[in-house]
Chain A
Amino acid sequence: MDHFFPPLDLLDTFAMPWASPEDIIWNGKIVAMGFFVCLSCGLIGAFIVVRKLALMGDAISHGILPGLALSFMITQSKALLPMFIGACIAGLLCSLCIEWLQKKSPLKADAALGLTFTSFFALGVLLITQMGNNAHIDAECLLYGEIGFTPLAKNLKWGAIELGPRPLATMAMVTLLIISIMIVFYKQLLVTSFDETLSISLGLPIKAIHYGLMLLLATTIVAAFESVGVILVIAMLIFPSTTASFFFSRMPAILFSTIPLAFIYSFGGFFLARWLDCSIAASMVVIAMFCFGLAWLFGPVDGVIPKLLYRKVSV
């Protein structure tokens, strides 16, 4: 038991990753990957949580599995685009199925969700086992991801410009896409998320916005889980905005606080994983959980301790 937590060597944990230029680049790529995933998922997650779709991310991230398997079976190739398209289609199909069941069948909403994504996942597993085993691939990585492999990936080139390791470049582009969509469609997203009646009367295409958001969610999940695993994605959809909601109650503030939170998560997780020598992506979630716990206790808006103090004063 005593050697489960290794002694915390400050120098080795905090300084050694940045000792030489090569180390800085290597580890910087890992942290940057974590940062982009946290940021993009956090931004989308803020809207997802408000729309009471928090578990939709969970559902879609499992539901893409048959899409990945099928696109691999059809194309027999490792190309990114078919995989991406297959995953997006499966993800959207999964969310459509869930909504259809919720509307048309007598099932309750949560049962419809749980039923659909587990069935999709089971189908995906069945399809994969039909493709045969590939022995030299490490276990379980996709469930919790191996972000530490990021710097190993082949560099993505655009013309003569090197854009960096492919997962990192993809993720950065997706993050940019999300930020620009948030800026352009901010008002529409805000109105449709909070006040459906108003948005109908304003003539906003509610359904289009909803499915656009779902597509964006699927895109993010596909881009992210390639390197960090499903679990970081699901966690990052919910943790940042929920944590921020203990400090702010206005949407822009919550969205902006995703940036510092993503910093804290990615660096904190990196150091924690370095200390304990465990999965980096999972460590980021542990840090996020820790931050959530702090916010829950001390957050000025809805925190436990400020509420207790306030109650005492008011009595």
Chain B
Amino acid sequence: MNLNFFQFVPFFRTILFLFTAGSLHAEQIAEDSSLSIQTVRFLSLTDYSVQIVLLGVILMGMGCGLMGGFVVTRKLSLFGDTLSHAVLPGVAVGFIFSQSKNSFSILMGAMIAGFLGVFLISLIKKTTKVRLDSALGLVLSGFYAVGICLLTRIQKMEFGNQSGIDRYLFGQITGLSTADVLGMGISCILILLLTFLLYKEMLVTGFDPGFARSVGIPVDLLQYILWMLLAFSVITSLQVVGVILVSALLIIPAATASIITQRMKSLLFWSAGLGILAGIVGTYLSFLGNRLPTGPLIILTSTSFFIITLFLHFRNGLLFKWIRSRGKEQKIAIENTLKAIYQELENHNFSEDTITLGNLAKRRRINMPEAHKEVKNLVKKNLAFLLLKKNQTLPNEDILSLTPEGWSEACRIVRNHRLWELYLTNEVHYAPDHVHEDAEKIEHILGDTTVRKIERILSNPRRDPHGKLIPSQQDIEQGFIEKKVIRTV
């Protein structure tokens, strides 16, 4: 049997963690039974375990969410991660000191170790050229290793029954006691106090420390308060989700909130709300099955909120942004086609009212299929129409003409372009050969009011810096271009 075991040792080591994490995380708060029964049990809140766990999760979600709002906006996201690893030696020392599972001495030890870690990071930052991310990594792994050394040492000692310490490593929601929830409540209240009493100061120090210092806000003191509360919320949450996942509680809700809003007040509100919601949903999900760990499920719920927001949030979601930018791109493409047609007609002094598709393609520097696609878009928007000659078969000889709507649109774009060029040369004193690129971009954005303003400044000009006509509404109405259009229609 022993021999057998040794043969498999390499493999065991590979998935040791897999299974150990499994056995340690596979804590659930209910036995297996049907979905509806579990739902009813969960919602009716009759079980004491459900009550205590839910209360803990809500307090944790709120505290970590609020804290995360401050932390993420200050680019301190990975401080939470570092802090959660750095408290480990403190947990071990607290355990050695009291030689028991005394929560208070462990908490004090964790606080001190966390502070020492943060202090070391800022010391490394101040005295050396080591980058912040390296400093974080150094402290994170160094402290964690010290903690592991102490814990493995404790295991070998007489009082080494360290069943109470395991949960700091992996989190254990079933072990949640009233005292733990009380701790969460206290840290949550402290964080709420900070948020309400020192909101303005925190806001200023977070976004503009230099200004904060100049108006006499004690920036360093606030920083220490923030770290202390961060340590509080990390330590109290460690018991639910464990060392590695605790930073997710801080980062993910706040990151989701930062997509939804740019204002600090609503960011904090959203972050806390999402934290609570993820906590409740995650707990509910883990309540449904037999082998569903609560901590990871809370995190994954939070992550799925994030993913949904990232893509589907109406104002800032990537999907809608993409759709909107696609719409804009299409509009710009259509306007560029119209402009090209106008210029092509202008080249022939408007003696003709049609151009061939081949000429359009040449001017736009695109190939025939692309030109065909662009023209199709114009036709769809009723800005142009194709005239097919009976005895013509070559596609690049297809003839194209603009509708009246197309004409006024084309004139508007060309007018924008040339007005802007003139404005740049006359008022901003650009060289005439430097203005085209700029006008090429702005012509699509200029609104009516701006155009009117420019017209007033330039006192209704007729010619652009290159001597070409700036087509106006008048030109269209008074028949300079119009009659040819009507003839084709």
Chain A interface residues (CB < 8 Å from chain B) = 1, 3-4, 49, 52-55, 57-58, 62, 65, 68-69, 72, 78, 80, 83, 104-108, 110-115, 118-119, 121-126, 128-144, 146, 149, 152-154, 165-167, 226-227, 231-232, 234-235, 237-239, 242, 245-246, 273, 276-279, 281-286, 288-289, 292, 296, 302, 304, 307
Contacts and interface: CB of A to CB of B under 8 A. Distances in A.
Interface in B128-158: 128-131, 133-134, 136-138, 140-142, 144-146, 148-150, 152-153, 156-157
B308 interface: no
A282 to B, nearest CB: 4
A49 B134 contact: yes
Contacts of B8: 78
A238 B141 CA distance: 9
A78 B14 CA distance: 9
Q: Which of A49, A104, A111, A132 lies at the interface centre, i.e. has the most chain B CB atoms within 10 A of its CB?
A: A111
B81 interface: yes
Nearest to B250: A114
Contact of B252 (A115, A125, A143): A115
A129 B169 contact: no
A1 B294 CA distance: 36
Nearest to B297: A126
Contact of B300 (A80, A104, A126, A289): A126
Contacts of A146: 13, 16
Contacts of B137: 54-55, 57-58, 234-235, 237-238
B149 A142 contact: no
A161 to B, nearest CB: 18
Interface stretch (B22-30, B44-52, B206-214, B464-472): B22-30
In the complex, which range does the number of interface residues on chain B fall in?
35 or more
Q: Is the interface of A mostly helix, strand, loop or mixed?
A: helix
A55 B251 CA distance: 16
Interface string B1-41: 00001111111111111111111111000000000000000
B157 A166 contact: no
A57 B11 CA distance: 23
Contacts of A143: 17, 148, 169
B153 A296 contact: no
A195 B310 CA distance: 33
A271 B180 CA distance: 39
A279 B245 contact: no
Interface string B68-79: 000010011110
Nearest to B242: A125
25 contacts: A4-B157, A68-B15, A68-B18, A105-B310, A106-B316, A110-B133, A115-B255, A119-B303, A122-B295, A126-B293, A129-B25, A130-B291, A134-B23, A137-B19, A139-B20, A139-B23, A142-B16, A142-B20, A149-B9, A154-B9, A235-B141, A238-B134, A242-B138, A282-B148, A283-B149
Contacts of B259: 105-107
Contacts of A138: 16, 20
Q: Which of B17, B150, B245 lies at the interface centre, i.e. has the most chain A CB atoms within 10 A of its CB?
A: B17
B318 interface: yes
Contacts of B169: 140, 143
Contact of B148 (A62, A129, A133, A231): A231
A1 B96 contact: yes
B247 interface: yes
A118 B247 contact: yes
Contacts of B145: 144, 231-232, 235, 281-286, 289
* Minimum-distance CB pairs A-B, first 8: A142-B17, A285-B145, A118-B248, A235-B141, A122-B296, A282-B148, A122-B299, A78-B11
A167 to B, nearest CB: 6
Contacts of A49: 131, 134
B128 A125 contact: no
B127 interface: yes
Q: Which of B18, B247, B252 lies at the interface centre, i.e. has the most chain A CB atoms within 10 A of its CB?
A: B18
Contacts, number: 279
A119 B252 contact: yes
Nearest to B80: A114
Contacts of A108: 72, 75, 77
A72 B15 contact: yes
A286 B136 contact: no
A125 B22 contact: yes
Contact of B138 (A122, A140, A142, A239): A239
A54 B136 contact: yes
Contact of B245 (A72, A118, A167, A231): A118
Contacts of B310: 105
B399 interface: no
Given A54-B136, A108-B77, A154-B7, 4 more contacts: A113-B77, A121-B245, A143-B169, A231-B144
A139 B166 contact: yes
A153 B9 contact: yes
Contacts of B17: 65, 140-143
B9 A141 contact: no
Contacts of A141: 13, 16-17, 20
B236 interface: no
Contacts of A122: 245, 248, 295-297, 299-300, 303
A245 B138 CA distance: 14
A70 to B, nearest CB: 11
A58 B293 contact: no
B401 interface: no
B124 interface: yes
Given A118-B252, A166-B10, A129 B156 contact: no
B116 interface: no
Given A115-B251, A227-B13, A110 B292 contact: no
Contacts of B248: 114-115, 118-119, 122
Interface in B100-144: 124, 127-131, 133-134, 136-138, 140-142, 144
Nearest to B133: A54
Interface string B305-335: 0100010000010100000000000000000
A55 B20 contact: no
Contacts of A125: 21-22, 25, 293, 295-296
Contacts of A1: 96-97
B258 interface: yes
B86 to A, nearest CB: 12
